[in-house]
Structure 1
């Protein structure tokens, strides 16, 4: 830190110039990043669903498994000659769209209904590339649908597109739009709060500059990641949340400290150096804890989730670096001008001295510490109770709000009774290397019959489909022509060497994540009774495996973060009890946030006023781990702000109880101001169209409100009062082994350490 303090004090212009150059170089790649992100939930290389997909491609020659479902609303209806002509023209034009490999128009009702009874709704299936060119082909399909609507005339034809690719592309588009709107909505409100805190325009602008600077450079880094791996759409939300939230948080602390130091002797460069040595230490240490928490996202064996962790770590490290270099360099150059122009004079927020009101509040809390601890803990536990019923999974289209095309179109598909086309289970039966012969037909036919008899099954695509089954014309890619359909059935049902058999089970409706397990259990029980070795794949299995991989990694991630945080806090505060207390109280905050999000998103409580659909059914599978990482990391900001001040007062020789009161009096103002800013940033995400983003914003907003008020200003001071001198106990042998680290906001004015701080009796 001394090197950085000398650097920004002696060479502020070169430091600022380097950051300006870096920002200019980052601007273009940062602008490209959002479109390079992906909403694909990913796949696991060794997972059963991945093996099934590989077998279908290599052994069955299946290449066109990506489908776009187009729901056409016709007036007059399809049952009239005019309506039929309009629909036929639309289908013929769709066949000419580049990238579309096959079009299967709706016909009479069959195994999978494709036309509503009144003929106003018809379902058309367009097969598109599975990976390369899928997004581009879908964009051309949507452009054609818009053109067909205009050519048909007002009110005669309405086309909506859904399907796995459409849902993923809508996630990407709306996640990007949500993030941009959140930034634009949060920045002016954040600026207003900063103006109330600082009263001066220049001081107000500096935290915003640092936040935008760190986001720009971090997004350029995210774009670099997209060149080597698939990066999650939510990585942009993580970068924005951390860049604005933590960046403004750190800048608020640094600017406030600089103004305090500048008032001592008026020397701006010396004040900037002291700011780095004092507040900069807390920023560096706090950022390190956030980075460790975000690194928990790197543990699951899924590139999609790891990219969010890498993006989060990158955003935090760049935010810290900008806060301890670019910001103090700017402050050194500005000097007294940081207080210009003075627009507001509000002593309650802009006074650097201890707050009398918060000091008095702390004395009341510490006067009845047991009552404060018990009531606060009970309140947090009550909020956490709904999390016991949390269900996670891939929400699919239901993870978007009403009004998004792929979601609304899926609702139409569901009403037609064809929703199961997006929840198909692919089953591969193994003949142990023996070619399929006449003796296998009876067994194969029995398995298919047993599968068709299962509750919730619409149909099973197999060589034993009847003409009535084929009448619908869209059963997983089969045309209405019976000879062509039978030929295609033979090709799709037997591997090239006829040693593997394939059937496709289509449920009656689109399965939400919480409906997959019961259906799969019945399916596997039937297959196990058949005597055939089997593999089960398809979109529902892939989604469930993805969710379980994240869930299975959650305990390891939590324990890793707990252990690393414990060690860091033990190093910083020379204590065993303080890090243990911090972990428990942060866990209470995270649990309360889980409970509120579960109650709202999954339970529907207050969902409508927040614009959250009440049929989502599950939380996104990455949400618990993502919320834990961000919440646990950011809550350490306030923890370190407060504890470092308590330790400072102890080092000055104050008794533990008085040190707690004085620390709250000096930090409560900065903590509450920072919390208001972060609350605004997080709430801005609730107004989006992607439910996962709304859930993240809701959870973070609830957590920061609880953490900066109930936990940090009531629960923590009360606990520190109860623990007394044990707060700073560390065995002497351990104290001698640990390296010396200091994170106090101010350098001690009295030499040495107060009794009980250096270590225990050992």
Structure 2
């Protein structure tokens, strides 16, 4: 298949490249509006109790669970004429908006509900709140909240207006993620290009991976926009899948272009060098892409749109990166020929420094060979020390506390963050964090509800229990305890009622979890559904955690099967799985130390909330696992080639490992460096989960390409010796029938490495020969 694709591209190179350019323009144009069709979170599903509670209120008590909070403040206080006039203007506009319901404000409640008005005024009397519910789908709510935020936010004659609440928060996040994507790509593309020039020397060779990367970005946008027409797609997928597409496209192009230049240097003509490169490096790229795609596909077992959007978009993006690499590169290379080495910047640099041409090195003379030889002479202590270091780095993960994100994921420049900080610090109760208790079908009287409210108010951290008509209860001993059971809940026929529990406790903290458990333990006068921030967090965490074993099991099984088919060994797949887990444990521990415990919050510019978003470690696990397998496949392919060409003894195993690392070390460390650049560009985002994603994956990639592939993997393969290649006889026979087997190595006709006859090259390509023996420094086995 790969040979046929390469021949097709070489036969019609201009048509292939023009078609790719047109497709890139179409995808880019179609995907330009993807952001406006995405959802801010994608963390919730309709089956959650807390979501059903919110749906009940939305249907029966419009505005009963507000998602938009407008804060109006001034130095003269909330009752000054300027503040009152501005607040009244905003209130009137909201009430006149057909997409907004349940508008309540401090100022309109002064005469009708002084109790509620007190809850909507800050402790210092300078700030008042207007609360409302923006209606519509998640996408509609975000877009409408963004319009309201743009309309109201600002300073007017000494009066400050800030828009927040859940709807305002997601609107701010969406806007910031879109801005961050432009900045990340503006950093990643030129810096990657510069690094590729340093790796290749040639500007032309460096331009090829960048071209494929730009195609992958445009394809990603088109894919995401297409997915928004059939499902909810998280806004976070915009940055993450774009970065993934760019990183993988550069990674895969680097492998193929490096192999092509190597084949040219070994005497092949352009056509046979392309065929050979696609059969070897291209085959490795396809296999690596398959492992990444299947790891991402495992995310589909989670019910949340956040994960499903990454599963579907991620698989499509990986396919785009692989397809572009094995189809567009042959078309470009056949047109370039040996001009792929043009504009070699190393030559003028050497002349400037007075240095001559560097002589080619034998693999045994390279840094990587010497390093691995040193490691394998001390295999046991190196393995013990490296494992201990990685476990120590991962130890903070044992104390991880997970939660769903709130307005603190974005910087203090955002209006929603300013509103959230003020609610937490200057109000008796955080109205954005209230618990909501729904009693569907309740037919009792006010006394039952009053008694229930009084018991709820006795729970630690509860500021007040509110209904649609008034304060039902406040904590024992508070000044307004006389108002217990003062009102009757506003019921929608026989549908039931609800209570809102104001809290002074952060909903995602351990205290918030304990408070929710205490509220649930209070006997209710009927069936009750819990909603609000704390309940949403608990329900979401339970929903995600229950699916983790299934996702992890699928990834492990898929990995073991694919690597067995690739290597014919049952030992190497298990080793690869354990090393990946060890590497990711260290990465997650570092992320807990940085983002949950907040040790680098100042330099990195984020706010530590004492918890970490559970969705990010799961997403990072699947991505990092797949990318680690990318380097594992690339390394094992060369080690296996050396092993198959050896006498299969103990010393041959050691030499095969050293030669395999020596011949791939420079390439996969360059690939890891380039991928880290792309990921760190994502980490420039002003949204904390994006920082976590970029820094965490960059650390995982770099540590895997250095500590794991350079130290721990060679040490373990030396300790396991020839046992690396063991498989039970039935499985060995199965691999011989269906695995990725290779034909014997074929040397050049005269053994000199000169050019071969074109027809002979094509015949060799068609037979899928492994390569030209161990003499060729760049050969990669077909697997």
SS at match of 1:26: helix
CA distance in 2, matches of 1:196, 1:100: 56
SS at match of 2:437: strand
CA distance in 2, matches of 1:353, 1:243: 35
SS at match of 2:129: strand
Distance change in 2, residues 1:586/1:352 (3 Å): farther
Q: Show the counterpart of 1:635.
A: 628
Q: Deviations over 1:283-311 (max 9, x none)?
A: 01111110111112111012232111111
Q: Show the counterpart of 2:526.
A: 532
Q: Show the counterpart of 1:735.
A: 732
CA distance in 2, matches of 1:409, 1:181: 26
Count of residue pairs the alignment pairs up: 721
- Indicate if the aligned counterparts of 1:198 and 1:350 stay in contact, CA closer than 8 A: no
CA distance in 1, matches of 2:461, 2:357: 64
Q: Show the counterpart of 1:141.
A: 148
Q: Show the counterpart of 2:400.
A: 390
- Indicate if the aligned counterparts of 2:507 and 2:533 stay in contact, CA closer than 8 A: no
- Indicate if the aligned counterparts of 1:651 and 1:750 stay in contact, CA closer than 8 A: no
Q: Show the counterpart of 1:516.
A: 512
Q: Deviations over 1:95-120 (max 9, x none)?
A: 45563445433246745533335443
Q: Show the counterpart of 1:760.
A: none
Q: Deviations over 1:261-319 (max 9, x none)?
A: 12233521221111100100110111111011111211101223211111111111111
- Indicate if the aligned counterparts of 1:675 and 1:708 stay in contact, CA closer than 8 A: yes
Q: Show the counterpart of 1:40.
A: 41
Q: Show the counterpart of 1:711.
A: 708
Q: 2:568 aligns with which of 550, 565, 574?
A: 574
SS at match of 2:345: coil
SS at match of 1:278: helix
CA drift at 1:543: 3.2
- Indicate if the aligned counterparts of 1:393 and 1:514 stay in contact, CA closer than 8 A: no
Q: Show the counterpart of 2:353.
A: none
CA distance in 2, matches of 1:95, 1:352: 77
Q: Show the counterpart of 1:608.
A: 602
SS at match of 2:119: coil
- Indicate if the aligned counterparts of 1:370 and 1:718 stay in contact, CA closer than 8 A: yes
- Indicate if the aligned counterparts of 1:423 and 1:540 stay in contact, CA closer than 8 A: yes
SS at match of 2:498: strand
Distance change in 2, residues 1:57/1:612 (3 Å): closer
Q: Show the counterpart of 1:227.
A: 229
Distance change in 2, residues 1:352/1:68 (3 Å): farther
CA drift at 1:18: 3.0
- Indicate if the aligned counterparts of 2:149 and 2:168 stay in contact, CA closer than 8 A: no
Distance change in 2, residues 1:419/1:201 (3 Å): farther
- Indicate if the aligned counterparts of 2:466 and 2:473 stay in contact, CA closer than 8 A: no
Q: Show the counterpart of 2:590.
A: 596
CA drift at 1:73: 2.4
Question: TM-score scaled to structure 1, two decimals?
Answer: 0.89
Distance change in 2, residues 1:89/1:467 (3 Å): farther
Question: TM-score scaled to structure 2, two decimals?
Answer: 0.86
Q: 2:378 aligns with which of 368, 375, 386?
A: 368
CA drift at 1:363: 1.0
Distance change in 2, residues 1:72/1:734 (3 Å): same
- Indicate if the aligned counterparts of 1:234 and 1:308 stay in contact, CA closer than 8 A: no
Q: Deviations over 1:374-417 (max 9, x none)?
A: 11111110011000111222121122222222111211122231
Q: Show the counterpart of 1:472.
A: none
Question: Gaps (5+ residues) in structure 2?
Answer: 351-355, 475-479, 746-768, 775-783
Which is worse superposed, 648-657 or 39-48? 39-48
SS at match of 1:579: helix
Which is worse superposed, 268-277 or 401-410? 401-410
Q: What's the RMSD between the two structures over aligned residues?
A: 2.9
Question: Gaps (5+ residues) in structure 1?
Answer: 470-474, 476-481, 752-762
Q: 2:770 aligns with which of 744, 747, 750?
A: 747
Q: How does 1:269-668 map to 2 (within 5 A)?
A: 269-345=271-347, 354=363, 356-417=366-427, 420-429=430-439, 435-436=443-444, 440-462=445-467, 465=470, 493-497=490-494, 500-512=496-508, 514-526=510-522, 529-530=523-524, 532-614=526-608, 616-653=609-646, 655-668=652-665
Distance change in 2, residues 1:543/1:117 (3 Å): closer
Q: Show the counterpart of 1:69.
A: 69
- Indicate if the aligned counterparts of 2:462 and 2:502 stay in contact, CA closer than 8 A: yes
Q: Deviations over 1:202-227 (max 9, x none)?
A: 11111111111112112201111100
Distance change in 2, residues 1:350/1:203 (3 Å): farther
